[in-house]
Structure 1
């Protein structure tokens, strides 16, 4: 059964509008805190960050991540605010290095491979996709308030190493609320009326 929201071209005239629309939908990569993003078991340090790129560059093959000692990859992805995750696209090669499963974990920073024994918030059986035609729809009710996303690829179709060229994240973004700062600002403002009442009570007690 194909994933929900398959983006395969149906041959109609509306397809010409797909590119700019997809570019907007899959722009959550701009909301990733790239300096703190990490990919565990990447063969080249920092290569995991390169697969989060503009939709227009999804077919560019020179930037990719490949696993190192085995076929597992684990991405820890912090965002600069809160996101509502609606869909994911994974592009790889039409070889056995393509990941066969994807497991998602919400708001669990600094995950390691030891932590992946826990049940994921959602998981998908993947099909090989070299063009970005298959979209995996997430459960929006679960992924509606995400500040950190971990993506675990536990295996592939039989290769010793897993290779990924592009990961696209579709959804909505909202700035993080800073309630603590607001409360502090209110507490720092003295209430003149309360101050006057206090002074009046003190003067009456003295007299």
Structure 2
């Protein structure tokens, strides 16, 4: 067996080596990678799809794929989840050097936010980003991210370059299956439709009763 050979060859270091190898492949137990709706990750002001930076744990240091900002040194990445998330931390690998964003502003449940909305919205939390080639872990205030269906990350500027670059984006936390919205049941019920049509903004969702 290969494992027995490793123990014979590595002696006292074999246990540490095997443990580190396993951890690198599997990642943290509370990684949310498998619960990200990767096909619908959106990146604004880039020439690539946002999902290229949503990588498995063992690819977190891989620099073959990245997102680089296009027109200037700003970028927005919107990440939807397949359920309800209680977020613990955001993981980022950026750079190199002055292509590192100066900071990241994180918004919970702002699915359609774009650059025009930034000035009107207050981030749920923000972090300064240090230069470095490793993956940075940014622990959030969990109480503010306890029922998250999507996260929007805004990178407002670089640390000196004309563009910014993101290699890896990951999340740690707890995922639960999202329950169906009970409002759907009300819409489908054969109730008094005349009452429903009085709700502002929903007239187009219902049939007008025959008179």
Question: TM-score per shorter chain, which class?
Answer: 0.7 to 0.9
Gaps of 5+ in 1: 1-12, 189-207
- Flag the structure with larger Rg: 1
Q: CA deviation at 1:55?
A: 1.0
Higher helix share: 2
Q: 2:27 pairs with 5, 19, 22, which one?
A: 22
Distance of 1:97 and 1:34 partners within structure 2: 25
Distance of 2:164 and 2:69 partners within structure 1: 5
Q: 1:166 pairs with 159, 165, 168, which one?
A: 168
Distance of 1:176 and 1:138 partners within structure 2: 22
Q: 1:37 pairs with 19, 37, 41, which one?
A: 41
1:16-57 deviation digits (Å, cap 9, x = unpaired): 37535634333x122122232211001x231x2111111100
Change over 3 Å in CA distance of 1:83–1:162 after alignment to 2: same
Which residue matches 1:105? Answer: 107
The reply to whether residue 119 of structure 1 matches residue 122 of structure 2 is yes
Whether contact under 8 Å (2:97, 2:132) holds in the other structure is: no
Distance of 1:183 and 1:107 partners within structure 2: 23
Whether contact under 8 Å (2:84, 2:149) holds in the other structure is: yes
Q: CA RMSD in A?
A: 2.3
Distance of 2:185 and 2:166 partners within structure 1: 45
TM-score (norm 2): 0.73
Distance of 1:50 and 1:21 partners within structure 2: 19
Equivalences for 1:150-189 in 2 at 5 Å? Answer: 150-180=152-182
What is the count of residue pairs matched by the alignment? 170
Greater relative CO, 1 or 2 (CA 8 Å, sep 6+)? 1
Gaps of 5+ in 2: 1-15, 191-211
Which residue matches 1:71? Answer: 73
1:115-168 deviation digits (Å, cap 9, x = unpaired): 111210100011123121x31100100101000110001111100000010011
Q: 2:142 pairs with 140, 143, 147, which one?
A: 140
